[in-house]
Amino acid sequence: MHPELPPAVILAGGLGTRLRPLVADRPKALAVVAGRPFILYQLEWLRSNFVRSVVLCVGYKGEQIVEFLGNGSHLGLKITYSREDTPLGTAGALAKAGHLLPEKFLVLNGDTYTAMPIDPLWEVHQRCEALATLAVATAQDSSAAGGIEMDESGRITSFREKEPGARLVSMGVYAVSRDLLSLIPRKRPCSLETDVFPKVPRLYGYLSPVSFIDIGTPAGYLALGRHLSSQ
């Protein structure tokens, strides 16, 4: 029997401003893609990778997510919620959920779609004793994601958010050790991508053989719809 992986945090509290006006009446997690709310694709992917417990960080219109998913039992998951009254950013939201998290856990941006297997990412994180290990994909353009440079050992030597020129980018999927939370600035809001990752020691990457789609932009949202409808 495959061992259960640790809990996953989904950062689903953002305002989704890039996706408007395509999705204006609901949080981005409930944007309908190929006939289904996007969050279901993420949850089913986690469950298929032997994740059984999920913490959802919700904010903007978060009550819609809570009403839709409940405790997750109908999906074969245990879902708990961390709610932000004002936008905290990705790092602030993760810090706020800290009391719900074990020593090591997974983190997933609320707008990332991928079919990447999680086991290899988790194995790299364990082996390197990293504070955070980022799933990384090749890309021709890093201007819309976190641009990454890695050495031969897999250590990330540079992380620059939304700057052109990098051949590798962050997929928005991370394995994280709890000690990372102590490095999150106390200012609010704050971002993993701009305020934390560029300064973290023991930051590693796992080069995924499977890419990803960011549905946070109209182009990504429509691209995922085409991809799923063609399957």
Q: Distance from CA of residue 15 to its chain's centroid? A: 15
Which residues have CB under 8 Å from 56's CB, separation 6+? Answer: 9, 10, 12, 29, 65, 69, 79, 80, 81, 82
Residue 223 tokens, joined: 């691209």
Cα–Cα distance for residue pair 174/172, rounded to 1 Å: 7
3-state helix, strand, coil in the chain (%, to 5): 30, 30, 40
In our burial notation (b when 16+ CB lie closer than 10 A, e otherwise), range 168-178 reads bbbbbbbbbbe
Residue in 28, 61, 104, 162 annotated catalytic: 162
Q: What is the DSSP letter of 154?
A: S
Task: Confirm whether 96 is a catalytic residue.
Answer: no
- Does residue 85 sit in helix, strand or coil? coil
Return the active site residues.
Answer: 162
